[in-house]
Amino acid sequence: MPTLNEVNYSREACINAIREYYRFLTKMFLDEDEILEPPEGGWPDIMPSALQQLGKTEEVAALLRSLPYLRTEWEGQDAQATPWGLFANWTAEVHSVNRGKGSIEDIKVATEGVSYPDDIPAHVVGLTSTEDDYGRFLLDTELGVIYWMECEDEIANRSSRRPIRDDPYDYAEENETEWRAEGKAWAIADFFEVLKEQFRKLKFIPINGKEVKDVYEMSDERTEEGLREIQGTFREHGWPDLSRYRKHECMAAVREASARLDLN
């Protein structure tokens, strides 16, 4: 298990890790058109002044200005990069606020939750937009780690990439220890490898080109049987061996099965 002394933050490495994660998803199920790359010079709406309303640092603003994002449809279904929520499209969110169609408070709640409203420091930013703390990802740009809030023990304990060993009660500010201790932390690159591993093992299961289910929160026996069939479909089409995997044929079969099994 790594320690914080072995980890550092690099904006460029963080951007690359997120970009490579999205590209990985396109190899399995996601349409490449869902990925939005920043224009030269970065997303124009995400200036330091815009993030100051959220109480975030200039480094957070610089990072968010340079990230690729997944397309936001607003009136349609947005593509999921995990089973529990959406990766936040910060340029769309800030643009909406700048046009008077949203609020900073709404963004803060969606990306950081309501459990610790005054305890998330300025150098930490939420990567996901979700209604529950389960599956919320918080990136610390000083420590160079991502906290996965309420992460499943099975994921943390069985992943090939081990979480950070340090105890937040030994290194964090007193008012920050509780939320940090509720999650598992990984070095940024390791964190995205953990997510990829869940897809490779079909613990995370796409049921169409945008929606992802997981094996940890299955609601009933019918859903469990349906997801097992979808897992079999991916394997029949070569997954996870990318040299054999037939994405387009597989996703056509997955969509048909999901509709038949009423998994959508």
Encode pLDDT of 13-50 as tens digits: 999 999 999 999 999 999 999 999 999 999 999 988 87
Domain ends where: 170, 200, 230?
200
Q: Do 79 and 119 belong together in one domain?
A: yes
187 and 60 in one domain?
yes
Q: Domain check: are 54 and 131 in the same one?
A: yes
Please give the radius of gyration of the chain, using alpha carbons only, rounded to the nearest integer. Answer: 19
**Is 211 inside a domain boundary?**
no
> 189 and 222: one domain?
no
What CA–CA distances, in Å, run from 62 to 102, 159, 172? 22, 31, 24
pTM of structure: 0.95
Task: Supply the pLDDT for residue 74.
Answer: 57
Name the one residue in this structure whose structure tokens are 């023990």: 153
Which two three-digit tokens encode residue 32? 């490449």
Q: What's the one-letter identity of residue 18?
A: I
256 domain residue, yes or no: yes
Residue 75 has pLDDT above 60, yes or no: no
CA distance 100 to 83: 30
Residue 212 lies in a domain: no
Say if CB 198 and CB 204 are below 8 A apart: yes
**Model confidence pLDDT, tens digit, residues 53-66:** 889 999 999 999 99
> Where would I find the beta strands (DSSP E) of the chain?
35-36, 69-70, 86-87, 124-126, 128-129, 137-140, 145-149, 183-187, 204-206, 212-214
Domain C-terminal end among 173, 200, 227: 200
Distance, CA of 227 to CA of 205 (rounded, Å): 7
For residue 238, give its domain range: 218-260
CA distance 163 to 157: 9
Q: What is the pLDDT of residue 168?
A: 97
Contact 145, 188 (CB under 8 A): yes
How many domains does the chain divide into? 2
In a domain, 208, yes or no: no
* 123 and 151 assigned to the same domain: yes
Indicate whether 227 and 181 sit together in one domain.
Answer: no
Whether residue 207 is contained in a domain is answered as: no
Residue 85 has pLDDT above 90, yes or no: no
Instruction: Please list, in sequence order, all residues whose beta carbon lies within 8 angstroms of the beta carbon of residue 211, skipping any fewer than 6 positions away.
Output: 77, 80, 264
The verdict on 30 and 58 lying in the same domain is yes
Report how far apart, in Å, the C-alpha atoms of 191 and of each of 67, 90, 174, 212 are: 17, 20, 25, 18
Residues 34 and 139 in one domain: yes
Residue 101 binned pLDDT confidence (cut-offs 50, 70, 90): confident
Residue 206 included in any domain:
no
Burial code of 198-207, b = ≥16 C-beta within 10 A, e = fewer?
A: bbbebbbbbb
Q: Is residue 28 situated within a structural domain?
A: yes
Q: 101 and 190 in one domain?
A: yes
Listed residue (14, 136, 159, 163) closest to 82, CA to CA: 136
Whether residue 243 sits in one domain with residue 136: no
Q: Tell me the C-alpha distance between 212 and 214, whole Å.
A: 7
One domain, residues 157 and 113: yes
Domain membership flag for residue 209? no
Question: What does the alpha-carbon distance between residue 101 and residue 107 come to, in Å, rounded to a whole number?
Answer: 12
Kindly report which listed range (133-137, 194-198, 208-212) carries the lowest average pLDDT score. Answer: 133-137
Q: Same structural domain for residues 179 and 242?
A: no
